[in-house]
Amino acid sequence: MASHKVVLHFPLHQLNQPVVNNLIKRYDLDFNILRAEVTPNERGFVVLELTGEEQNFCDGLAWLDTLGVTVQPLSEDVVRLDDRCTHCGACVTSCPVDALYVDRPSQAVIFDQEACIGCGICVDVCPPRAMVVQF
């Protein structure tokens, strides 16, 4: 048995489909939803802890890929290099838990490390590479 924390991002055409239910039934996985958010006609994601046989987990990921569902592993120890951050805001809409947000009225982008679940999404969208995952 193995346990994995992952973020699933759903394409528009899958937003109203029972993807997670089908995943756990097809691949005999247990799940715990850590966070979920769906904006109709825009985006949807769910942060899950999946538990089951490793092969079933891998097969499940392959099946999700055929549906166009993007799977991102959760990682740990995300930090922001403040001297690199330009407060451009590019990361704000990508963060699934609002750990990056714009402060008003200063317009500064704030990183709330306590709220961060370590998905690593901001690392890829930050132009000056200010968000870093430490291993």
Total number of residues binding ligand SF4 (CB under 6 A)?
27
Q: How far is CA 124 from CA 23, 46, 88, in A?
A: 27, 19, 14
One character per residue 68-107, x = contact with ligand SF4 (rule: CB under 6 A): ----------x-x----xxxxxxx--xxxx-xx-------
- The token duo for 87 is 């407060």
What backbone torsions phi and psi does residue 4 show, to the nearest 5 degrees?
Answer: -135, 135
Interaction of residue 128 with ligand SF4, rule CB under 6 A: yes
Nearer to ligand SF4, 17 or 89 (CB): 89
Residues that bind ligand SF4 (CB under 6 A): 78, 80, 85-91, 94-97, 99-100, 109, 116-122, 126, 128, 130-131
